Amino acid sequence: MRFHGILPAEATSHALRIVLSGRNALLVEQHRGLMTYDDSCVRLRSENGFITISGQALSISQFGEDDALISGRIDSLEFTP
């Protein structure tokens, strides 16, 4: 089978990708490391700064070299340089 199209940029680059599922799960792909973590705040480093996830009963369900799955009640997401 041959693919005759163009792949999306996020599939071929190291661009940050965030997928929010309702308010209960957030997948962050292509992060650069965990900065801080507690049950109300998760802060990850990205190529262009930091991502801060705030909420309640937050936990890191899965954590890999470049991806993290955060569960709990997600109240806000903030990007800072």
Model pTM?
0.82
Task: Read off the pLDDT band of 17 (50, 70, 90).
Answer: very high
Name the more confident of 14 and 29. 29
For residue 6, the model assigns a pLDDT of 63
For residue 4, the model assigns a pLDDT of 56
Per-residue pLDDT at 7 exceeds 70: no
Task: Tell me how far apart the alpha carbons of residues 76 and 67 are, in angstroms, rounded to a whole number.
Answer: 19
- Estimate to the nearest angstrom the gap between the alpha carbon of 1 and the chain centroid: 32
Tell me the DSSP string of 2-67.
Answer: ---S---HHHHS---EEEEETTTEEEEES--EEEEEETTEEEEEETTEEEEEEEEEEEEEEE-SSE
pLDDT tens digit string along 32-79? 999 999 999 999 999 999 999 999 999 999 999 999 999 999 999 999
Amino acid at 7: L
Domains and CATH numbers, the chain: 17-80 (2.60.40.2000)
